[in-house]
Amino acid sequence: QSPWYLKRQMLAFMEGRRGAHPEDTFGQQMAAIAKTLPDQAAVDALVAYIDSLSGHTPERTVKGNTKKGEDYYTMVCGSCHGPKAEGNELLDSPALAGVDDWYLVRQFELFRKGIRGADDKYGRQMVMMAPALPTDEDVTNVVSYIQSLAEK
């Protein structure tokens, strides 16, 4: 992930804007870990370290109709997240290509249920967009397409 996005998420966990929902077990775990960071300098150091790690293409675990996913992605997601799911800092939209597909499915489900995003202005954007992919199959197809972008 981009350093600007990692930093924003770490601060959101630290400040209780992410991982506070009672049904967000994994978010609560991250919030507890983030709160062990003593200050902004520690967040910056952690983000710099993560950014220094070499990336790799995650293993495909979600299998959907990539063509249908491309159509949905182009119509619904691409204007914010970029045509190749590379993200767009000016729109506060993180990269999606290269993120584990199972994680994208989980996070989308959390947005859809209102478990993630309720206390975060950036997350609320995704809560509002979640109905644009109304079925699990639609989400699977889009995530399958996003994964194909990471493999290219």
The answer to the question of residue 82 being in a domain is yes
- CATH number of the domain bearing residue 113: 1.10.760.10
| 1, 36: one domain | yes
Number of domains in the chain: 2
**Nearest C-alpha neighbor of 133 from the set 98, 109, 103:** 109
| 36, 73: one domain | no
The answer to the question of residue 77 being in a domain is yes
How many CA atoms, within 13 angstroms, populate the side-chain half-sphere of residue 7? Answer: 16
Distance CA 74, CA 140 (A): 15
> What pLDDT sits at residue 68?
97
**Nearest C-alpha neighbor of 119 from the set 38, 13, 47, 29:** 13
| 149, 78: one domain | yes
The answer to the question of residue 148 being in a domain is yes
Domain with 136, as residue range(s), is 63-152
| 25, 78: one domain | no
Quick check: 123 and 18 in contact, CB under 8 A?
yes
Model's pTM, two decimal places? 0.91
Q: What angle do CA 104, 81, 149 make, to 5 degrees?
A: 65
Quick check: 66 and 144 in contact, CB under 8 A?
yes
| 38, 2: one domain | yes
| 44, 22: one domain | yes
> What pLDDT sits at residue 55?
81
H helices within the chain, ranges in order?
Answer: 3-14, 25-34, 40-52, 66-72, 78-81, 101-113, 121-129, 136-151
One digit per residue, the tens of pLDDT, for the chain of length 152 reads 899 999 999 999 999 999 999 999 999 999 999 999 999 999 999 999 999 998 888 999 999 999 999 999 999 999 999 999 999 999 999 999 999 999 999 999 999 999 998 778 888 899 999 999 999 999 999 999 999 998 86
The answer to the question of residue 58 being in a domain is no
> What pLDDT sits at residue 1?
87
| 99, 122: one domain | yes
Q: What Rg do the C-alpha atoms of the chain give, in angstroms?
A: 15
Which residue's structure tokens are 């675990």?
61
